[in-house]
Amino acid sequence: MLNITYLVTAGPTHEQIDPVRYIGNYSSGKMGFAIAERLAQLGAKVILVTGPVSLEVQNPAITRVDVVSADQMFEKCQDYFPTCDGAIMVAAVADYKPVHFSPEKIKRTDENLTITLCPNPDIAASLGKVKRKDQLVVGFALETAADEKKAMLKLQQKNLDLIILNSLGDHQAGFKYDTNKITILDSTGVVFTSELKLKSELAIDIVAKIIEIQQSRPGMC
């Protein structure tokens, strides 16, 4: 049984434009939920901070924290991370949010409409910055082509221990699908590659790799 607590983020974030509209993406939350379930199955406590998804948590060892926007996800992650042994950042956080929220529904006119966006906080990078020696931070990289160089750059920029690359170019892989195909990299390069598999099966591989690293480092449980 694993005596650890992990923070997992999942799903998309929705950035509100007005009371009825938002900027979002097609993330289903399936990969993040599968990782949370696998960790809980092995005995870990899990804090699952999720954006809006239509999924249910099965294992009672998972504490589900529902959020809508990137700012809310950021805040919850800041709150929970210090009490965790690590974080797995699976959420597809919106990169930008509208500068202004319109409390009134924006009316249709014949003119062009410009909505000014500003960048959201990078949650993974913020945890990478403050992580202790005994904490791991794992990120995901979703690219339109399997690009290990880009993934490695992301790992370095966000100070991650591992990055999991999945390519939207692979058939049946990525957002919305039940299947995915991944490559895991650490600071030395590729440490794992998979076939196209169910996300629940990949969650087993991903969690095994994370636990292996956690247990191999002195000072970690």
Angstrom distance (rounded) from CA 166 to CA 147: 9
- 89: nearest Cα among 31, 152, 25, 44: 31
**For residues 89 and 127, is the Cβ–Cβ distance under 8 A?**
yes
Task: Give me the half-sphere count of Cα atoms (radius 13 Å) on the Cβ side of residue 45.
Answer: 9
Three-state DSSP class for residue 148? helix
Residue 100 C-beta: closest distance to ligand C5P, Å = 20
> Which residue stretches of the chain are H helix?
30-41, 70-80, 123-130, 148-157, 199-216
Residue 31 C-beta: closest distance to ligand C5P, Å = 10
Cβ-based nearer residue to ligand C5P, 40 or 49: 49
Helix, strand, coil percent content, the chain, rounded in steps of 5: 30, 30, 45
Both structure tokens of 214: 């956690």
Cβ-based nearer residue to ligand C5P, 122 or 161: 122
Residue 78 C-beta: closest distance to ligand C5P, Å = 12
Cβ-based nearer residue to ligand C5P, 31 or 110: 31
Q: Report the interface residues with ligand C5P, using CB under 6 A.
A: 9, 70, 89-91, 93, 120, 122-124, 139-141, 154
Cβ-based nearer residue to ligand C5P, 31 or 107: 31
Angstrom distance (rounded) from CA 180 to CA 3: 28
Residue 22 C-beta: closest distance to ligand C5P, Å = 16
- 171: nearest Cα among 183, 163, 179: 179
Is residue 25 part of the annotated active site? The answer reads: yes
Residue 155 C-beta: closest distance to ligand C5P, Å = 10
Q: Which of 3, 25, 120, 166 is catalytic?
A: 25
Cβ-based nearer residue to ligand C5P, 35 or 90: 90
- The residues that are catalytic are 25
